[in-house]
Copies of this chain bind each other. A is one copy, B any other.
């Protein structure tokens, strides 16, 4: 049978290369090394399929309401077995992106059903260049979440959690390049969320992470003064240490607003 030969040859190829037969030559493995918190490591085959289809859906190539090809042909196009495809579909379904029903097929769900806070979904939205509108929404989330988290942390954080905050701050202070600073910055904001002792709050880190990551990307060119927000962080840290929730809230709000203003200025410059 031709099936056999096809299978034997195509298997190793599909893993490494991007030689998709008919699908638009989408770059699957974009150079992104940074991984979001709960994101799929894309090590497995079906992980790749999840990534590929998820990105196409969130990216708008596959529109809500659209009916996907049936599993058999879609599996052929992706060069995986129907089994692997179905496992990927279950994941996408769990993220609210698609809905499968017997006889009718699998269709892309309306955006209001998408799990927008899912780390993968957030990541896919930033796959290319995030839209101005999306950045605005991310910042709005930060303005809501982080000041409240800082206040809660000031009230309830433990000694260990304060130590982690200290460590993150020290790492930011000691950072020699943008990469090191970005890592420490993320750790700091994660530590604040964790210090609330509310795991629901902490789960919003996926949003913060995406927002900060976007900010780093947008501000990559002016990397010389990347430490400009260190004083803001210090104020937050000190307020938490002194158990002053209101001061912590205000300091954090100033930090977020400052970062937003900075980004907007930068965007205007880029346009001009």
| 8 Å CB contact of A116 from B40, B94, B138, B202 | B202
Q: Using Cβ atoms and an 8 Å threshold, which residues of chain B touch A152?
A: 140
The stretch of A12-20, A22-30, A107-115, A254-262 in contact with B is: A107-115
Interface SS of A by simple majority = helix
* A148-B137 in contact given A94-B40, A116-B202 (Cβ < 8 Å): no
Q: How large is the interface on A (under 10, 10 to 19, 20 to 34, 35 or more residues)?
A: 35 or more
Whether B83 and A116, one on each chain, are in contact in the complex, defined by CB atoms closer than 8 angstroms, is no
Partner of A112, one of B91, B94, B202: B202
The contact of A199 among B111, B143, B199, by CB within 8 Å, is B111
Query: Chain B contacts of A116 at CB under 8 A?
Result: 199-200, 202-203
Q: 16 additional contacts, CB 8 Å, given A38-B96, A137-B199, A137-B201?
A: A86-B87, A90-B90, A90-B91, A90-B94, A91-B91, A112-B199, A114-B199, A116-B199, A117-B203, A117-B204, A140-B198, A140-B200, A141-B200, A141-B201, A144-B144, A144-B145
